[in-house]
Structure 1
C-alpha cells in the first residue's frame, strides 16, 4: 500500500484546504495518509468556531469549507487516515488536550512518532 505524509504547520485555512485536497485525492487512490498538525497548524484541530474570513471569497465562489473537508477526511478515511495533534506543541503552548477536537484527531504524538510513521512514505508534503 502507498503512503504519504502531510505536515500542517500553518494556521491559514488555505493551507488546510490544500492539505485536505491532497489528502482526499490520496484516499481516492487507496493511499494511506498520515497528517501531522504542529505549531500554528494545530489550531485547525481546536474545538469550537473556526474563522474562515480569510477565504470567504473563495467559499462564496464554491470552494468547499476546509473544516468540512477535514471532518469528512477523518470520517470517511477509516484505517487509511491518521491525524495527529503534536504533543510537543501542546506542551509548549500550554494547551490542554481537552481543547483538541477528537472527532478530527485520531492520535496525540510527537515528532519521533511522525518520523517513524512516514519512514516508508513515498512523499511528505508541508502546508
Structure 2
C-alpha cells in the first residue's frame, strides 16, 4: 500500500494498476482521478470517483506512481485516511472505499454519514 499523503487518501497498488488501465483506454494524458464527497444517498453523503481534466486552485493533488488523485478542499476532511482499492471477484467488481470517517453506511455501500 502507498503511504498516506496531504489529502489523506491512499490508493492501493491494485487500484493504481486499474486506474492506469482505464486511463490508457481513454487515450488521454490530461486526466486525473477525482475523488469527492457529495450530499445524497440514503445515509446523507455519497462518494464520487471520476476522471477529470480540471484542476481547481484549492484541490489537493497527490501522485501515486503516475496516477494523480485529486480531492477538492471540501471533501478532504471526509476522506482523510480513506483507502481506495479495486476488487475483482466473483461477487463484486469495482472500486471500494474504506473510510474510517464513515460513522454509518447504507446496505448498498454507496453512501455514508
Q: TM-score, normalised by structure 2?
A: 0.29
Point out the structure with the larger strand share.
Answer: 2
RCO higher in 1 or 2 (8 Å CA, sep ≥ 6)? 1
Structure number with the higher helix fraction is 1
The TM-score with structure 1 as length reference comes to 0.27
